[in-house]
Every structure is written in structure tokens, then in C-alpha cells.
Amino acid sequence: MVWLYLAGAIAVIVALTGLVLAWNKYTAGLDQKGYDRGVAETTAAFQKRDNAQLQAALAAQHAAEVLAAQAERTALKSQSDASQAYSKGVNDGKAKTAVLVAAARAGSLQLRDPGNQTGACPARSGPTGEASLAGPAAGGDGGTGAKLSAEASGFLLALTGEADDTARQLAAAQAVITSDRVLCNAP
């Protein structure tokens, strides 16, 4: 009989072990399902947050690209306008200079030297290095000045035309530089 009790005890222990193993398997399955659900929920929350941040970053990038494109178009138009104004100024200036030079050479336009009232040339400097003027130009405000020759007038007018061209070129360069700085400093 003792053997029976012993066999019954072993059977109860085996049954209890089976129950404990089944319980552990069931709770491990629950834990795995809960863990998987938690991972899925956390991953979804992070993906939702990351997607929202990505969408916001893409929207900000698009807005910045639109602003940059607008700034580039504005700068391009400004540079184009400056180039056209420069070209027009050069053409107008050359035409005006050509008309003035032709008028001076034809004699209808005469340039005068307001510092030389009599038409006499200044005397050469003496041994002291000081020049003396001949005639009444040595100290007055009067008179209209001596006429310059047609060749000298043409030369001076052509020279002033070149100076005007240089000034227009400088103004155009300044306009391009200003436009570039505006573009580089755009938001």
C-alpha cells in the first residue's frame, strides 16, 4: 500500500507540474502578445510623430524653396533691367556723343576755355617754377573764354562720352552687385 500512496503522490506531482508548465506557457503567450502589442503601439506612435515632423520639415523646405525661387526671379529681373538700362544708356550716350562731336567738327557747336579770355596761351614757367598768364585772364570773372578748335572740341567731347560710358558701366555693375547681395541675404 505504501506503493500506492507513493504512486498517487507521484501522479499528483506530475499533474501539478503539467499544470504549472501549462500555466507558464499560457502566461508567456500572454506576455508575448502584450509585448508585441506594446511594440506595435509604440512603433505606431513614434512613426506617427516622425511622419508629422517629416511632413512639417517637407512643408518648411517647400516654403523655403518657393521663397528662394521668388528671390532668384526678382534678382534675375533686377539684373535684366539693369543690363537693359545699361545697354540703352550706352546706345543713347554714343548717339549723343556722336551728335555733339559731329556738331563740334562742323562748327555749329563751339567749346570755350573760360580760363583763357584772350585766346593767348599761358606763358611757360620761369626759373622759379611759377607760370604767368598773358592777357586779362590773370585775375577776372569776365568774358566768355577763348574758343577751342574743332579738333580739340571733338576730342574733348569724345573723351567725355567715354567717361559717361564708364560711369554707366560702374552704375550697372553696382546694380548687379546690389541685386546679388539681396539674393544672398534673402530669407
This prediction has a pTM of 0.49
Q: Which of 44, 23, 42 is nearest to 34 (CA)?
A: 42
Q: What is the pLDDT at residue 136?
A: 44
Total residues belonging to the chain: 187
Give pLDDT tens digits along the chain (187 positions): 788 888 888 999 999 999 999 988 888 877 888 888 889 999 999 999 999 999 999 999 999 999 888 888 888 888 888 888 888 888 998 999 999 989 988 888 888 888 776 665 554 444 444 444 444 444 444 456 788 888 888 899 999 999 998 998 898 888 888 878 877 776 6
In angstroms, the CA 130 to CA 139 distance is: 15
Q: Where are the domains of the chain?
A: 75-111+144-187
Which residue type does 48 have? Answer: K
Residue 146 phi/psi, 5-degree rounding, is -80, 145
